Amino acid sequence: MRYQPLSASFYRSNRSRFMAQMNGNSLAVFNSNDIYPISADSTLPFAQHRDIFYLCGVDQEESILVLFPNAIDPQHREVLFVRETNAHIAVWEGAKLSKAQATALTGIETVYWLSDFDRVFQELSTQCDRFYFNTNEHHRQAVETQTREDRFIAKCKQDYPAHSVAKSNPILQQLRSVKAAEEIAQMQTACNITEKGIRRLLGFIEPGVWEYEIEAELAHEFLKNRSKGFAYTPIIASGNNANVLHYTENNCQCKAGELILMDVAAEYGNYSSDLTRTFPVSGRFTDRQRAVYEAVLRVKKEATKLLTPGTIWKEFHVEVGALITRELLELGLLDKLDVAQQDPNSPAYKKYFMHGTAHHIGLDTHDYGLLHLPMEANMVFTVEPGIYIPEEGFGIRIEDDVVVQQEGEPVNLMANIPIEVEEIEDLMNR
């Protein structure tokens, strides 16, 4: 594998914690993602569904995991189905997991070929009364494409109409939101690879460079360090492009005097990092750019301190709103009247800072986590305030990934990535 996989005991522990929360005489099923088509015989690169990955570490298409804590045969409490490999597949696609390799990776003793699935599943379904289905309930999900999991659920409901159903997602939202030490180590590796990419850029960015050339430098550094690449579509936005929040074309030339906002980070072993840095294209901030940059940086530092056990995500955002409002007043972007007359449901600061300040991060960049519940130690959040001023031709965001601690301030997994004005200017002018 390109990355160092986590231990089988980590996956075993995830499964047992999941099964401990299942109720009744129930069985849970998790499918791999499809390989998505482009056209003709072209496909997008495979990306594993993060839930089956979290529960067993299998990073292969067409795998199915069944968890059945009350199975009559103890061998059927955890069952993994993988695509049968053969000499033809080995020649054309490369070797797939053997049963022994699948057991070593996942800690699951019972591994069948996928071709046995219908028969084995029929047998297991006669022993249970309820299926736990894995629907996507992430609060930001909006894609209408039918997934492999969706197809499985539809077929299962048709084939087994007398079974009742329950939801796996709330259990996974809660389990995945609190990270194990092994996962934090994997995320630290992703952040360290991101750091290498950013350091490479400090001597590379100058007037005349194209945004896509910066993307190419990062891709090179990420791949060279065992990452599959960007954890999400990179945003490399010079000048006013930074004021288009989801700008991903990255096709403009950077001009002297502009700022460049880069929301770019590596994945490692299917774990995301998520970073934003804003640098001056010419290597020096103007006084105004520097004033706004330092305001955003102050908010980032203060906001980070608020990520402590017991904090509620929505209340955190109200506090960050007050911090950013103070800075916008100081910068002359808002006046006291704007603030005095603001609608609390749409505060004045939103004109210059229109997105959230923190999201869970882990196997997904916008990771699982039930936002109405209090924060806990070992949750990992981004901290990403910004100020966007189209009329002045620039936008600034600064983003790091931090781990909530039981005591004291969060640990910043990106603490080594240059962020202070002097540091950035010094490294850019060497």
Tell me how far, at minimum, the Cβ of 301 lies from ligand GLY, in Å: 18
CA atoms within 13 A on the CB side of 135: 12
**176/370 Cα distance (integer angstroms):** 10
Q: Does 367 bind Mn ion (CB under 5 A)?
A: no
The 8 Å CB, 24+ separation contacts for 340-345 are none
Closest CA to 28 of 128, 117, 174: 128
**Using CB distances below 5 to 8 A depending on partner kind, what does residue 59 bind out of Mn ion, ligand GLY, none?**
none
**Shortest CB 215 distance to ligand GLY, Å:** 14
Question: x/- contact string, 214-233, with ligand GLY (CB under 6 A)?
Answer: ------------------x-
Nearer residue to ligand GLY within complex by CB, 168 or 365: 365
Residue number, 211 or 274, with CB nearest to ligand GLY: 274
Cβ within 8 Å of residue 171, ≥6 positions away:
18, 21, 22
Write down the least CB distance from residue 161 to Mn ion, Å.
42
Report the run of H or E that residue 206 belongs to, with start and end: none
Q: Taking the CB of residue 40, how many other CB atoms lie within 10 A of it?
A: 6
Q: How far is the CB of 267 from ligand GLY (least distance, A)?
A: 12
Is position 10 an interface residue for ligand GLY (rule: CB under 6 A)?
Answer: no
Q: State the binding partner of 232 from ligand GLY, Mn ion, none, CB within 5 to 8 A by kind.
A: ligand GLY
At closest approach, how far in Å is the CB of 277 from Mn ion? 10
Q: Which is nearer to ligand GLY, 176 or 359 (CB)?
A: 359
Closest approach of Cβ 276 to ligand GLY, in Å? Answer: 6
Taking the C-alpha atoms of residue 115 and residue 109, their distance in angstroms, rounded to an integer, is: 18
Check residue 263 for interaction with ligand GLY (CB under 6 A): yes
**Separation CA 350–CA 332 (nearest Å):** 15
Q: How far is the CB of 298 from ligand GLY (least distance, A)?
A: 20
* 274 binds ligand GLY per the rule CB under 6 A: yes
CA–CA separation, 380 and 311 (whole Å): 13
Burial class (CB in 10 A: 0-12, 13-18, 19+), 291: middle
Site map (CB under 6 A) of ligand GLY, residues 377-396, x = contact:
-------x------------
Residue 367 engages ligand GLY in binding (rule: CB under 6 A): no
Radius of gyration, CA atoms only, the chain: 24
The answer to the question of residue 274 lying near Mn ion (CB under 5 A) is: yes
The residue count for binding Mn ion (CB under 5 A) is: 4
**267 counts as binding ligand GLY under rule CB under 6 A:** no
Q: Given CA atoms 302, 305, 307, 308 in this order, what sign does their dihedral have? A: negative
Question: Min. distance of Cβ 385 from ligand GLY in angstroms?
Answer: 11
- Which position's Cβ is nearest ligand GLY? 263
CB-nearer residue toward ligand GLY: 34 or 400: 400
Binds 14: which of Mn ion, ligand GLY, none (CB < 5-8 Å by kind): none
Among 59, 263, 327, 367, binds Mn ion (CB under 5 A): 263
Question: What secondary structure does DSSP assign to 54-92, as a single string?
Answer: HHH---STT-EEEE-TT-SSGGGSEEEEEPPP-HHHHHH
Instruction: Quote the least distance from Cβ 190 to ligand GLY, whole Å.
Output: 13
Question: What value, to the nearest 5°, has the Cα angle with vertex 276 and ends 181 and 427?
Answer: 100
Where do the DSSP E strands lie in 13-158?
26-31, 64-67, 78-82, 110-113, 130-133
CA distance 310 to 301: 19
Comparing CA positions, the residue from 392, 428, 201 lying closest to residue 293 is 392
Report the residue from 382, 400, 401, 417 that binds Mn ion according to the rule CB under 5 A.
382
List residues binding ligand GLY (CB under 6 A): 232, 263, 274, 359, 365, 384, 399
